[in-house]
Amino acid sequence: MSRLRLLMVADTLAGGGAERVILDLVNASLSRDDVDIVLAVSQKAGPLKDAFPKSMKIYEYGAFRAAHNAFANARALRKICTAERIDAIVSHMTTVNKAMLRAKLIAPALPPVFIVEHTEIARQIFDIPSAWKRRTRPIEFRLLYPRAAGIMTVSQGIGEELKRFCEINPRLFTTILNPVDRKRGQGAAVSPVQAGPKGRVVISVGRLDGVKNFKALLRAFAQTVAAREHRDDRLVILGEGYQRERLVAQAQKLGIAGQFHLPGFSDDIFAHLAAADLFVSTSLYEGLGNATLEAIAAGIPCISTVTAGSQELAQHITALQLVAQGDDAGLAEAITTQLAEDRLKVSAADQAFIESLTPDRVLARYLEFIETKRKGRDE
């Protein structure tokens, strides 16, 4: 049986959800005899740059986000695909997807391009300060995305947005949820953050930026501290970003600086999750929510603001409670209620759902979709 050779393309090797998905898929491919994965990035930099297998081929070919780099991208891709005998290109994240599709438009002889969309499209179209970009971005999606050989979205909500705003044929789509590598959580060390005698640990994960809306989490946690009438609870946010100093200042203003911890970026998220009692996501938008899946895998219940991703996961996970965007009081009440429970736990059914998302099973879904579309093009 011939091995399918895939070129996976990302921006950098940052520690975000899309990059972790690629890492999980690459690791899963090592035990299979039907696929080889080669990686291409604009820049071989980021917290995950040393996490990939040493045998992994990683090409670096410069920035490709801007449209004026399309010809250079096409030349670089053609060189890589020829050298590696690539059968299909799989790109991740919107800017990379558009870059790959521009290159395919310029060089039609490139292998078929499959794109993975991790982000809510409506937010990308309408939550832009520039009025010009708000008008032109839907046109860009409509011109480029239908040229993909297939589109994989990490939640059904993203697919529905693409169909609605970008007028793309539904037959191009499939929804494949992100993998969860539970092996990374085996033997996890205990987090250094410990609650007091009456307290519990609330945790969140993500870049310290506006999209994750951690300011709302701090406000809600302050209300929880007041409602529980002690200061033994702790709030931990894993991640780095430009809002670090703002969040520290906000915690001081709210009077919860002693209960708030920012350990920074961690590649061992499970170590912190295993020592926590409750996971909370306050994202303004989220394609799926890898950290939520990892929290369920670690055995702790979750609260999330309503996003495309959280609505997707709520269809499968009972230990996930949704709260409306902008409802700080509702979020605080949900956190307070959960922490008042004698025993916070995740059901066996939820754990079984997580088991269906092992990297090998998710990779198999990728391969099945790609092969189906490739055969359809050949017939």
What pTM was estimated for this model as a whole? 0.90
Residues contacting 305, CB < 8 A, separation 6+: 213, 216, 281, 282, 283, 284, 322, 323, 324, 325, 331
Nearest by Cα to 128 from 5, 285, 277: 285
Tell the burial category of 264 from Cβ atoms under 10 Å away from its Cβ (0-12, 13-18, 19+): exposed
- What is the per-residue burial (b if ≥16 Cβ within 10 Å, else e) of 166-186? bebeeebbbbbbbbbbbebbe
Dump pLDDT digits (tens) for 252-310: 999 999 999 999 988 788 888 988 999 999 999 899 999 999 999 999 999 999 999 99
Cβ(259)–Cβ(233) below 8 Å = yes
Q: Indicate the class that CATH gives domain 4-179+358-378.
A: alpha beta
Domain at 183-355, CATH homologous superfamily: Glycogen Phosphorylase B; (3.40.50.2000)
Percent of the chain scoring above 70 in pLDDT: 92
188: pLDDT confidence band, cut at 50, 70 and 90? low
Residue 378 host element (H or E): helix 359-378
Nearest by Cα to 211 from 281, 122, 302, 264: 281
Task: Give the pLDDT score at 230.
Answer: 95
26: pLDDT confidence band, cut at 50, 70 and 90? very high
Which residues belong to CATH 3.40.50.2000 in the chain?
A: 4-179+358-378, 183-355
Q: In whole angstroms, what is the distance from residue 28 CA to residue 16 CA? A: 19
Q: Tell which wins on pLDDT, 49 or 220.
A: 220
Dump pLDDT digits (tens) for 309-337: 999 999 999 999 999 999 999 999 999 99
